[in-house]
Structure 1
Amino acid sequence: MVGRHPRAELAPRDIVVKEMIRVMDKCGSNHVYLDATHIPESHLKIRFPNIISKLRENGLNLKKDLIKVSPAEHYLNGGIKTDYKGKTNIEGLYCCGEAAATGAHGANRLASNSLMEGLVYGWKIYKDIEKKLKQKNTGYENKTIEGINKLLDEAKIKKRKASKFDDKKPDIKTLTSDLKNIMTRKVGILRDAQSLKEAGEFVDFHINSGYLYNKKDKNILEFVNMLTVARLIIKAASLREESRGTHQRNDFPKKDDKNWKKHIILKQNKVYFKDV
């Protein structure tokens, strides 16, 4: 990273990862090397005891060896839209943590703030629920029951439509692996219109397949959830024709504040925007 960014290896994570991907593609490799051999061993032991222990288990020494590293997805920008009390647009449904889009983060996640964000919004949610429990509202309860009954009726209709697929047994393990690979290669750190289109075709094909629905298999349910989140990511990334924070479009490499300084909100098949 020296010569690539003023802070070198301490550059923002999205910049470091993008450079790693470029180097890996150029070299035809699936990793780059982490070199910590120039750092005093006493400092490494204080700052990275768990990493040192894990490397030792695999016969590696952080002070002496070059360590193979590659990018991995471990957090999500955006999520279920909430207000500042953790409430969604569905009455009685709350969300906090990395599953939520509370407004605390922008185009990149603020490092080390995730735990605090979860605690703050978790407390706000608790206080709001406590307040509602003290104000018993029959109308609210009836509205909630009506909503649940509506969901159950919709599920029954979907089950009848999907019944002809009941005998099919999809290879969920392989499909899940395929989805992970496609999302990493086509929708990962560096993406463009064509790669997003190809990933979208895979997701749309399977998410509209009746044999995935009304099943009790946990792996199938998780795969459907993964497809749902993947579709939202692909849709948002396809719409945003610019590069900003962790979102990098090879075909739109520059930030465009004039047209895209705003949030994308997806609800069912509709798209909304909210200015920042």
Structure 2
Amino acid sequence: MTPQAGVAAPPVRDLATAPSSDGGLDSAPRLATRLAAPAAGWTVEVDAIVVGSGIAGLTAALELRTRVPRVLLVTKDRLGSGSTVWAQGGIAAALDPEDSPAAHLQDTLVAGVGLCDPRAVEVLVTEGPARVRELVARGAVFDTAPDGQISLTREGGHHADRIAHAGGDATGAEISRALVAQIEAVRDDPGIEVIEHALVLDVLTGPPGPDGRPGAACGVTLHVIGEGQRDGVGAALGKAVVLATGGIGQVFRSSTNPPQATGDGIAAALRAGAVVGDVEFVQFHPTVLWLGAGVKGQLTLVSEAVRGEGALLLDTDGVRFMPDVHPMAELAPRDVVAHAIVRRMADTGADHVWLDARHLGGDFLRRRFPTIHERLLEHGIDLTTDLVPVAPAQHYHSGGVVTDLVGRTSLPGLYAVGEAACTGVHGANRLASNSLLEGLVFAHRAARHITDKVAAGALTRQEPTVRSGSEALVAAASRARVQRLATEGPGVLRSGDCLRRAASGLAGVPTDAHLRHDDGRALAAPQTAEWETTNVHQVASVLTATALARQESRGGHARSDFPERDDEHWRVRLEASLDPDGQLVVRRAPID
């Protein structure tokens, strides 16, 4: 970051502790560096391990399969069950001759509110069109125009028609289908092994360096549930580990994310010593079906593409309000629309607003949005004739494990791609439909980099050692408490007071449930629900700490006590990591 003329740049400092009077941290949390788990009962050795089977994980595995001798693909549920399959709107790329990567870059930078890494965005927009065409070559069928070219539409924040879609509003499902089919076609290949229904517990690391920090990533421990040759807890050892584990949706009380989105990759990377960044920037989708205050779990998303086609937002008095908020009205960036809805709800005393698509016509809506139409009908709402009640809910996480332009994290041997990664593409707010493209482009880059390093002998496997610090287990019974604290603290609109209450509450959650006893019984035993809840707790703790540290409002981070964007002091990325004892340290990193 270049300081403004006559203005001294803020000092780069650790925020492990800071006075609460200035809105900062009272004390940063101390987190465990490993999960409480049984010793590994089996071991497999491979060259590369890919964790996750969304667009990023499947792409990385397919690219690696023909380039390194042996690849292991681990997925938490079944192939194609992650967040990709739920992506409705589409994938953004400058495919139209009248569009350009430069225009796509500019729209992305604007949406990122000054915190994007321009180099990462340039990679995304210049390589994106070719990667989308490769998807077509791999069997993905996109909707086409009468001339046979891929049909393109527009979403919020874009100034051109560049959103490719499939099945109207089932783009992610179609991409997932095509990539899973490619994996299934080579499943008997001895160069690849797929383990489904497997939760990765921890990233294994080699001997620590002179500073006491963990050595290179050299594999993972994982727990396999169900039938198959491998079950229980085992260890997969490799030269490179690729985390493609998706987002953090289940950290919150309600989300559009599937149940598997418990922040596993981000938490595992943090415990292993990697740096995470932009964690405070959470995207709340403006238009999620509102079914009452007590509804929990994965909610029905009403895609931004509906507004892209001309649907309007009305308050509960029937007044259209977005034209007074932003020049792009309903097509403003998502953070703008979500915050405007929340404020309008407060002004009217309502718990939702209305999405009105009726004027677009029944035939068009049923053809363009068949999946959304059917899902709304399941709740007794007809998109073609009814106003749709909507409100913001957690949708996407713009932060993650900090990587460079080839997916490398700060921990040698560890890579991250997709929503689990912080590439610098999104900055403070993701531009609509850039997420599928990011996963595709950077998974391809990571796989090629691993290939080159393995071939050159620059990636070699170390022997895993036990890290310093403590181990943790949070009882599954605590998850609702953690989710409530995250929702009320680093939710859509934040304040120092609510964030400090959330931080205090999270610090009070027992993290040694396997050691605490009641009537002679442990509160919880190491098992899937407890491991997931521990990850949820750790991610919520880091999210709250970084949201408390950032004293401004920008993109997906909005604070009522610091309502203005502050480029003088906060045009920086907040990066967090654990010291060897598990103390969370938050640092300012300049934006180039």
Task: Give the TM bin, normalised by the shorter chain.
Answer: 0.7 to 0.9
Label 1:20 to 1:123 Cα distance change in 2 as closer, same or farther (>3 A).
Answer: same
Letter in 1 for 2:436: L
Letter in 2 for 1:11: A
Query: Where do residues 210-229 of structure 1 align in structure 2 (5 Å cutoff)?
Result: 210-211=512-513, 215-229=525-539
SS in structure 1 at match of 2:375: helix
Rounded to whole Å, the distance in 2 between the matches of 1:58 and 1:270 is: 46
Rounded to whole Å, the distance in 2 between the matches of 1:271 and 1:248 is: 19
1:64 counterpart residue number: 385
The answer to whether the aligner puts 1:21 opposite 2:342 as a matched pair is: yes
The answer to whether the aligner puts 1:270 opposite 2:585 as a matched pair is: yes
2:494 counterpart residue number: 191
1:182 counterpart residue number: 485
Rounded to whole Å, the distance in 1 between the matches of 2:486 and 2:458 is: 45
Larger strand fraction of residues: 2
TM-score (normalizing by structure 1): 0.85
Structure 1 residue 5: deviation in Å? 2.1
Structure 1 residue 75: deviation in Å? 0.7
Match of 1:89 among 407, 410, 417: 410
Label 1:137 to 1:217 Cα distance change in 2 as closer, same or farther (>3 A).
Answer: same
The answer to whether the aligner puts 1:247 opposite 2:549 as a matched pair is: no
Question: Are 1:212 and 1:224, in contact at CA under 8 Å, matched by a contact in 2?
Answer: no
The answer to whether the aligner puts 1:201 opposite 2:504 as a matched pair is: yes
Deviation sequence 1:136-190 (CA, Å, 0-9, x none): 369x43xx21xx2133xx48xx46xx8xxx9xx94x24x2122222212221110
Match of 1:136 among 414, 439, 457: 457
The answer to whether the aligner puts 1:150 opposite 2:452 as a matched pair is: no
Letter in 2 for 1:97: G
The answer to whether the aligner puts 1:126 opposite 2:447 as a matched pair is: yes
SS in structure 2 at match of 1:210: coil
Higher relative contact order (CA 8 A, sep 6+): 2
Rounded to whole Å, the distance in 2 between the matches of 1:150 and 1:128 is: 28
Provide the aligned length of Structure 1 versus Structure 2: 257
SS in structure 2 at match of 1:94: strand
Label 1:242 to 1:12 Cα distance change in 2 as closer, same or farther (>3 A).
Answer: same
SS in structure 2 at match of 1:180: helix
SS in structure 2 at match of 1:71: strand
Match of 2:398 among 66, 74, 77: 77
Deviation sequence 1:185-204 (CA, Å, 0-9, x none): 22111000000001111211
Which structure 2 segments of 5+ residues have no match?
1-321, 516-523, 579-583
Deviates more, 1:126-135 or 1:79-88: 126-135
Deviation sequence 1:44-73 (CA, Å, 0-9, x none): 223322111112222221121121112111
Match of 2:546 among 231, 236, 240: 236
1:43 counterpart residue number: 364
Structure 1 residue 222: deviation in Å? 0.7
SS in structure 2 at match of 1:259: helix
Rounded to whole Å, the distance in 2 between the matches of 1:183 and 1:212 is: 24
Deviates more, 1:122-131 or 1:86-95: 122-131
Larger helix fraction of residues: 1
Structure 1 residue 83: deviation in Å? 0.8
Label 1:25 to 1:183 Cα distance change in 2 as closer, same or farther (>3 A).
Answer: farther
2:153 counterpart residue number: none
Q: How many percent of aligned residue pairs carry the same amino acid?
A: 37
Letter in 1 for 2:513: Y
Letter in 1 for 2:480: S
Structure 1 residue 219: deviation in Å? 0.8
TM-score (normalizing by structure 2): 0.41
Letter in 2 for 1:209: T
Deviates more, 1:72-81 or 1:5-14: 5-14
Structure 1 residue 235: deviation in Å? 1.2
